[in-house]
Homo-oligomer: A and B are copies of this chain.
Amino acid sequence: MVATPRPNLYRCKATCRAYANIAFVKYWGVVDANLNLPANGSLSMTLSHAHATTTVAWTDGPPAWEADIVVIDGKEQSGAVYRRTVSHLDRIRTAMGVNWPARVESRNSFPASAGIASSASGFCALTVAACQALAAGGHHDVPDRLHQARLARQASGSACRSFQGGFVEWSAGGDDSTSVACQVAGPDHWSLYDVVAVLDSGSKSVSSHDGHRLAATSPLQEERVRQVPSHLNAARAAIRARDLKILGEISERDAMLMHAVMISSEPPLLFLSAGSVALMRQIRDWRLQEELEVYFTVDAGPNLHVLCNEADVGEVAHRLARSPWVLDTLVNGPGPAPELRNSHLF
């Protein structure tokens, strides 16, 4: 690398809190693995209580370190997570024309066992903090949020949805500049709730990052992708009309199509655990036999996300907590866009 003049050592630091999201219409499969251009569009809600807070400093004052340092939830990383983070820092360095090492510290508001995809909130927070740290240090060519979201998408596809609060649609697009996420409605539009039911289950044998590469091996993927535009249209309209019934039905259907593709890929991906199926039946019984308005969706993991109206959150969380399958419940409403913070983690 060509040496670049170092910025102001003491000002080149920033902290961002970014929020995870849950997709009602799922992203599964990529048409370009390097750019993370998705096989189909997707639509999610940013989550109010599942966030990553990340501080990035491009230098720590003399003596400056020589390699990137990555600390997550208090633990210095060295394996796959470190390499994936450094790859993303490289992406940002290239975009910004700098060659400095960074110190990154991040904390999640939710336990790793919660099975909420941490890559969306993590890479969103990392990108915003890394760019803001350079801006704070006097760097003039810091990309805007739209450009930042495209960078974050390359690290973790769903991270681009976390750049907006509320309800967010990521259009598949055809290239790096058209594969972008836009807000469908803000967080105050609808107090829809997602109660995450954390199930007792072994850890994932395949990351969703790797799983995306397998989607094309399922003979059913092409047809699933063909179904998505109508799901997107219906889900978008349901959000605008605050219609839980339509959104819930679409969410269940779309999730099942994604899992249908997963179980029929080569090798098959069995993300649903022992308890997932039992709890799906339970949720349907509550809805159909007891008229409790609940629907589920499920990501690339065993945990169920249970969608309900604000009035039913207490009852739903209570019922889920009593289930023998459920270890923990996390209640989320629509969350905000990424927030810059004044207090840093180091």
Contacts and interface: CB of A to CB of B under 8 A. Distances in A.
A281 B266 CA distance: 14
Interface stretch (A2-10, A51-59, A89-97, A218-226): A218-226
Nearest to A284: B267
A264 to B, nearest CB: 4
Task: Decide if the interface of chain A is mainly helix, strand, loop or mixed.
Answer: helix
Contact of A256 (B223, B253, B268): B268
A222 to B, nearest CB: 7
Interface stretch (A104-112, A239-247, A269-277): A269-277
A220 B260 contact: yes
Contact of A259 (B226, B263, B266, B273): B263
Q: How large is the interface on A (under 10, 10 to 19, 20 to 34, 35 or more residues)?
A: 20 to 34
A277 B201 CA distance: 11
Most chain B beta carbons < 10 A, residue from A220, A223, A257, A261: A220
Nearest to A205: B281
A219 to B, nearest CB: 5
Contact of A227 (B219, B257, B272, B274): B219
A257 B252 contact: no
Interface of A: 205, 218-220, 222-224, 226-227, 252-253, 256-257, 259-261, 263-264, 266, 268, 270, 272-278, 280-281
Given A273-B278, A274-B274, A260 B252 contact: no
7 contacts: A205-B281, A220-B257, A253-B264, A257-B264, A260-B261, A260-B264, A270-B281
A253 to B, nearest CB: 7
A112 to B, nearest CB: 21
A246 B11 CA distance: 63
A23 to B, nearest CB: 17
A257 B223 contact: no
